[in-house]
Amino acid sequence: MKVNAKYASRLAVAPMMDWTDRHCRYVHRLLSRDTLLYTEMVTAPALVRGGAVHLLAFDASEHPVALQLGGSDPEELAEAARMGAAAGYDEINLNVGCPSDRVQSGAFGAVLMKDPALVARCVQAMQAAVEVEVTVKCRIGVDDQDPEVILPDFLSRMSDAGVGRVTVHARKAWLQGLSPKQNRDVPPLDYPLVLRMKERFPHLHVSINGGIASLAEARGFLDAGLDGVMIGRAAYHAPADILCAADRLIHGSGPDSDPVAAARAMVPYVDAHVAEGGTLAQVTRHMLGLFAGRPGARRWRRILSEGAHRAGAGSALMLEALEAVTSATAEAAAAAE
């Protein structure tokens, strides 16, 4: 089935290094059928020069799923995009927002906000290499750039280069003096600027990102005229809050999902992963927040964080933790009567 990533991008879970790996995406997909999922950033040099094709592996159930690439060499990015498209990704996204040192040294990520002509060459080379849509995730600016000036310039160059869909993390990145983590919190958010960009470039599909913590907020941005909303940390830390009602409330497509059913559905996945030599913790570390804010959340988290890394741990431990959740839910319901 050909999946429409553009349609799915009304709500997306952000690319997050070390977090949105394939195990995480598998869990998220059980919670929402139609939300767009992104890989962690994969660098073009790792794929093209390092031959790290294992980084492209994903499960067929993850569709619609986008590959995020980092890089600044048009030819290398084109080759990496080709590899991603051949692996079956529904979209190839270029990272123009990540401020980490390692990434800066290779001239990838947010530093590219200073060189929109190079970004345009990169996306054109990528588009020429693949049929799937090439998209861009950017900031509103970096360092002492004036977002009011450079963001419209950046977006019009992207549009001229043939990019039809962008996600804007609505804050600057400060490339000196802030850690990557601080760069996700310290520079102030400017949502109105992103809304104005949608008015100025009505033909461009604009998604907003940064600090959005609920589906109601996401809905508000869509109602205000934006085309999509991307949620990162909130979706990771409390996936059920963001994803269980997303198909109904955002995509208008399906019933709510249930985190208990999702946890049960992870049993065969976990069994297969452990049988191949993987550990339970590699999967369940992405599930620790599954019951955040619900009865039994603490017991679930404790059982898994204490036991999932131990030798021999498997789906039985996950079911034991789930039992703690279902009994806490029953206790809470009884107490409420």
Ligand X SMILES: Cc1cc2nc3c(=O)[nH]c(=O)nc-3n(C[C@H](O)[C@H](O)[C@H](O)COP(=O)(O)O)c2cc1C
- Going by the annotation, the residues of the binding site for FMN are 15-17, 68, 137, 169, 209-211, 232-233
Buried b (16+ CB within 10 A) or exposed e, 185-202: eebebbbebbbebbeebe
Other C-beta atoms lying within 10 Å of the C-beta of residue 120: 20
Active site annotation includes 98: yes
Out of 35, 72, 209, 257, the residue judged to bind ligand X by CB under 6 A: 209
Residue 232 contacts ligand X per CB under 6 A: yes
Amino acid identity at 174: W
Among 10, 29, 33, 169, binds ligand X (CB under 6 A): 169
- Find the part of the chain contacting ligand X (CB under 6 A) among 15-23, 216-224, 259-267, 314-322: 15-23
User: Does the footprint of ligand X cover residue 9 (CB under 6 A)?
Assistant: no
147 binds ligand X (CB under 6 A): no
Q: How far apart are CA 305 and CA 11, in angstroms?
A: 29
State the nearest-atom distance from the C-beta of 197 to ligand X, in Å: 16
Instruction: Give yes or no for residue 292 binding ligand X (CB under 6 A).
Output: no
Alpha carbon distance 169, 225 (integer Å): 17
Binding site, annotated residues? 15-17, 68, 137, 169, 209-211, 232-233
- DSSP lists the bridge partners of residue 69 as 42, 94
210 part of the interface to ligand X, by CB under 6 A: yes
* Of the residues 15, 141, 187, 259, which one makes contact with ligand X according to CB under 6 A: 15
Cis upstream peptide for 64 (omega within 30°):
yes
Select the residue whose beta carbon is closest to ligand X and give its number. Answer: 232
C-alpha 244, offset from chain centre: 16
Q: Which of 98, 122, 138, 244 is catalytic?
A: 98
Binding segment (CB under 6 A) for ligand X, from list 128-136, 193-201, 209-217, 251-259: 209-217
Site string for ligand X, 98-117 (x = CB under 6 A): x-------------------
**3-class DSSP assignment, residue 100:** coil
Burial of 19 (0-12, 13-18, 19+ CB in 10 A): middle
Q: How far is the CB of 245 from ligand X (least distance, A)?
A: 17
| Choices 72-80, 126-134, 208-216, 291-299; region in contact with ligand X by CB under 6 A | 208-216
Find where tokens 């093209």 sit: 48
DSSP label at residue 138: E
* 211 lies in the site for ligand X, by CB under 6 A: yes
Q: Examine residue 78 and tell whether it contacts ligand X (CB under 6 A).
A: no
- For residue 160 the two structure tokens come to 């001229």
Q: Does 137 bind ligand X (CB under 6 A)?
A: yes
Query: Would you tell me how many other CB atoms lie within 10 Å of the CB of residue 249?
Result: 15
Nearer to ligand X, 184 or 285 (CB): 184
Q: Which of residues 44-73 bind ligand X (CB under 6 A)?
A: 68
Phi/psi at 240 (nearest 5 deg)?
-65, -35
The alpha carbons of the chain give a radius of gyration, in whole angstroms, of 20
For residue 167, what are the β-bridge partners? 137, 207
Assess 41 for contact with ligand X (CB under 6 A): yes
Place of tokens 């804010």: 293
Active-site positions?
A: 98
Interaction site with ligand X (CB under 6 A): 14-19, 40-41, 68, 95, 97-98, 137, 169, 184, 209-212, 231-234
